């Protein structure tokens, strides 16, 4: 697919009405075309779609007509199989009525344009329509949703559908940047402005010039830096550390948060003026458990991404697919991806059955506390490193100190109803340090 000249052409290329369905296939699988159209993967009877865009879904009898982007569909009972496109040959997929649910999802994955999120639920399809409209403007977007729901994927789709698609897309995890270097890394610095600044650095805002900057986990920004970010958004310019003159920027800002920013404002953890500056166009991603019809499409897309092309494709059996759909997925798409990657590695034979999925109902000995603002804070309620070390027969002083520290953290969170900032103040540490300690406790438990 070649580059296009603007957002309208790019949007057309991504949502291209590119699928021609052979009359033989339309008769054998009458649900196929309606299914693809419902996913906004527009298709039409072969011969009526634009020739310059067409991907054809053909029967084996039409093999001589097939090109390298086409798909041959063997609709028959028996062992389901998938062969990827290779060396100028079309992909081939074989399945019968008992495997049609996953077969249709795989076909959707094979024809889905690169960069378009995999969706199967009507409310998620509607969300993509909204996102496509948002992409046509330069408005700031605030994407909120639980961890693992696909916030960065939506941000990338907005960028790809916009007129900025051929300029940089730079994702920044605000929680991962060292607090002492946040300003310098975001806004840049001049040579000699601090120890170690041996050369000028333009910073991430100017590195994204003309494109899109994703500020992920925006709720983790310190209040002092929030004020400076507000000025950047208002004036469209940055002041590098150590510089006396601001530098203009032309960057679209997308912010993302896995916490409710309105609740953070009410708790005085986030500036209200910055919240309203970011919340020009709000986009909310709901948990995977509330969009069950996405699961089979996502499962197909993830298997297409991760399955080795030089071995038999690991086809999901109906029982395995049913198990995936019934699971609650507290880790959302990220948990689903981990589950399928494990299954690819551990399954035997040519299929992934329910017993190969190793779906956990996790009990990480984690208590989930909700404060009055409905914020969720996870703490380890039974983390006893000293006890584990004692069971190993080697209780060390360091183990005892770590166990005591974790106990203090737990008590501080309980005393503040799970409020991390207040707990950090009570402990005499920064909120960022507390986050690191909690991450260590979760990993160890």
Give the Cβ contact number of residue 434 at 10 Å: 21
281-329 residue pLDDT tens? 999 999 999 999 999 999 999 999 999 888 899 999 999 999 999 999 9
Residue 174 near residue 305, CB atoms below 8 Å: no
Residue 388 has pLDDT above 70, yes or no: no
When pLDDT is cut at 50, 70 and 90, the band that residue 72 belongs to is very high
CA distance 122 to 103: 19
Amino acid 263: pLDDT: 93
Cα–Cα distance list, 324 to 35, 122, 348, 354 (Å): 20, 19, 18, 8
Residue 47 has pLDDT above 80, yes or no: no
Residue 202 near residue 243, CB atoms below 8 Å: no
Lowest mean pLDDT among 207-211, 324-328, 396-400: 396-400
124-156 residue pLDDT tens? 999 999 999 999 999 999 999 999 999 999 999
User: How far is the first Cα of the chain from the last one, in angstroms, to the nearest whole number?
Assistant: 47
When pLDDT is cut at 50, 70 and 90, the band that residue 344 belongs to is very high
Give the Cβ contact number of residue 391 at 10 Å: 10
Residue 35 near residue 104, CB atoms below 8 Å: yes
Amino acid 398: pLDDT: 55
When pLDDT is cut at 50, 70 and 90, the band that residue 436 belongs to is confident
Q: Is 370 exposed, middle or buried (0-12, 13-18, 19+ CB in 10 A)?
A: exposed
Strand (E) or helix (H) holding 237? strand 237-238
Query: Is residue 93 classed as helix, strand or coil in its secondary structure?
Result: strand
pTM score above 0.85? no
The full length of the chain comes to: 445
When pLDDT is cut at 50, 70 and 90, the band that residue 367 belongs to is very low
Residue 166 near residue 159, CB atoms below 8 Å: no
349-365 residue pLDDT tens? 889 999 999 887 654 43
Residue 392 has pLDDT above 60, yes or no: no
């Amino acid at each position: 697919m070649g580059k296009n000249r603007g957002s309208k052409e790019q949007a057309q290329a991504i949502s291209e009405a590119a699928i021609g369905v052979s009359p033989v296939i339309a008769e054998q699988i009458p649900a196929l075309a309606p299914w693809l159209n419902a996913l906004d993967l527009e298709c039409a009877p072969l011969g009526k779609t634009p020739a310059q865009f067409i991907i054809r879904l053909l029967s084996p009898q039409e093999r001589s007509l097939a090109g390298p982007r086409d798909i041959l569909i063997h609709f028959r009972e028996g062992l389901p199989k998938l062969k990827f496109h290779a060396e100028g040959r079309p992909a081939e997929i074989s399945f019968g009525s008992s495997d049609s649910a996953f077969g249709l999802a795989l076909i959707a994955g094979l024809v889905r344009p690169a960069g378009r999120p995999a969706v199967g639920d009507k409310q998620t399809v509607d969300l993509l329509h909204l996102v496509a409209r948002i992409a046509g403007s330069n408005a700031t977007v605030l994407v909120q949703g639980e961890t693992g729901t696909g916030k960065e994927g939506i941000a990338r789709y907005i960028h790809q559908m916009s007129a900025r698609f051929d300029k940089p897309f730079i994702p920044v995890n605000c929680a991962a940047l060292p607090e002492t270097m946040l300003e310098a890394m975001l806004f840049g610095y001049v040579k000699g402005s601090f120890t170690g600044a041996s050369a000028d650095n333009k910073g991430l805002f100017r590195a994204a010039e003309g494109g899109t900057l994703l500020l992920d986990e925006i709720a983790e920004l310190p209040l002092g830096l929030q004020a400076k970010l507000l000025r950047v958004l208002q004036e469209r310019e940055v002041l590098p550390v150590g510089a006396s003159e601001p530098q203009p920027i032309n960057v679209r800002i997308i912010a993302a948060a896995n916490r409710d920013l309105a609740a953070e404002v009410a708790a005085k953890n986030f500036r209200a003026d910055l919240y309203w500056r970011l919340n020009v166009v709000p986009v909310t991603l709901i948990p995977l458990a509330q969009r069950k019809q996405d699961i089979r499409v996502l499962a197909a897309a993830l298997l297409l991404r991760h399955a080795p092309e030089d071995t038999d494709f690991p086809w999901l059996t109906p029982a395995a697919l049913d198990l995936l759909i019934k699971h609650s997925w507290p880790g959302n798409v990220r948990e689903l991806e981990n589950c399928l990657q494990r299954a690819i590695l551990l399954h035997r034979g040519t299929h992934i059955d329910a017993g190969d999925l190793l779906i956990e109902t996790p009990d990480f000995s984690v208590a989930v506390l909700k404060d009055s603002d409905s914020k969720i804070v996870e703490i380890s309620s039974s983390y006893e490193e000293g006890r584990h070390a004692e069971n190993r027969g080697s209780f060390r002083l360091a183990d005892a100190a770590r166990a005591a520290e974790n106990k203090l953290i737990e008590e501080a969170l309980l005393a503040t109803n799970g409020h991390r900032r207040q707990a950090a103040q009570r402990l005499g540490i920064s909120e960022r340090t507390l986050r690191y300690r909690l991450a260590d406790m979760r990993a160890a438990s």
